[in-house]
Amino acid sequence: MKRLGGKTLIFLSYFLAAFILRKIRFFSLSYEFIEASLFEFIFWFSGIFLGVHFLKFDQFFHAYFTQPDKPLSLEVKALVQQKKIGQAWDLLSLREGEQKLAFRSFFFQIAWVGLAIFTLTSTSSLFGKTLLMAIGLRLLLEEWEDILQKKDISWLFWQIGKPVSLKEQKKYLYLMTIVFSFLSLLLA
């Protein structure tokens, strides 16, 4: 069994705290409240689960459609044909830095901010809100992990076509963290 990592703990803590804060505002011990809370929690959790894994679908799309003849793509396809989905998933996780993925880019993150603002202010769907926030948090945590361990998140700027200095990368990361924090206030 895999150990629960730091990113996972941050992820779970963030969404659990947001869920609790949301429920405290409308607290009641009636049967309807408890029943509604259960359905709300199911939608909440479903959005989180799909949001966490949403970025992985970009890797599968990349392997099957964007660059199907690359060695990594062929290896993933072979594992999937052998019904070794878990191994294919792990292989993609190990080698995600090697691919130029649309969802792991500066432009996607900017588009995500616009979509998140629209969704958080326009819908009451907990599924949609948590799905989008989970995507954003997952990407932000990956960026922080790379900047703290590898001292580099240049993979995020692959579409720009020019090198981005470490100082500029850090400024961008701080800005995105502030934006995400502001958006978190709209979630609760």
Is residue 45 over pLDDT 90?
no
- Confirm whether 69 is domain-assigned: yes
- The model's pLDDT over 70-91, given as tens digits with 9 standing for 90+, comes to 887 788 888 888 888 888 877 7
17 Cα distance to chain centroid: 17
Which residue shows structure tokens 């769907």?
A: 125
- Confirm whether 116 is domain-assigned: yes
- Confirm whether 1 is domain-assigned: no
Q: Are 44 and 126 in contact (CB under 8 A)?
A: yes
- Confirm whether 83 is domain-assigned: yes
More confident residue, 49 or 39: 49
d(CA 161, CA 108): 15
Q: Of the candidates 113, 166, 168, which has an alpha carbon nearest to the alpha carbon of residue 139? A: 113
Number of domains in the chain: 1
More confident residue, 166 or 18: 166
- Confirm whether 125 is domain-assigned: yes
- Confirm whether 177 is domain-assigned: yes
Q: Are 41 and 19 in contact (CB under 8 A)?
A: yes
Q: Are 147 and 177 in contact (CB under 8 A)?
A: no
Helices (H) and strands (E) in the chain, counts: 7, 0
How many Å is the maximal CA-CA distance in the chain? 59
- Which residues constitute the domain of residue 60? 6-187
pLDDT for position 99: 62
d(CA 37, CA 22): 10
3-state helix, strand, coil in the chain (%, to 5): 80, 0, 20
43 residue type, one letter? F
- Confirm whether 142 is domain-assigned: yes
Is the entire prediction scored with pTM above 0.85?
A: no
- Confirm whether 169 is domain-assigned: yes
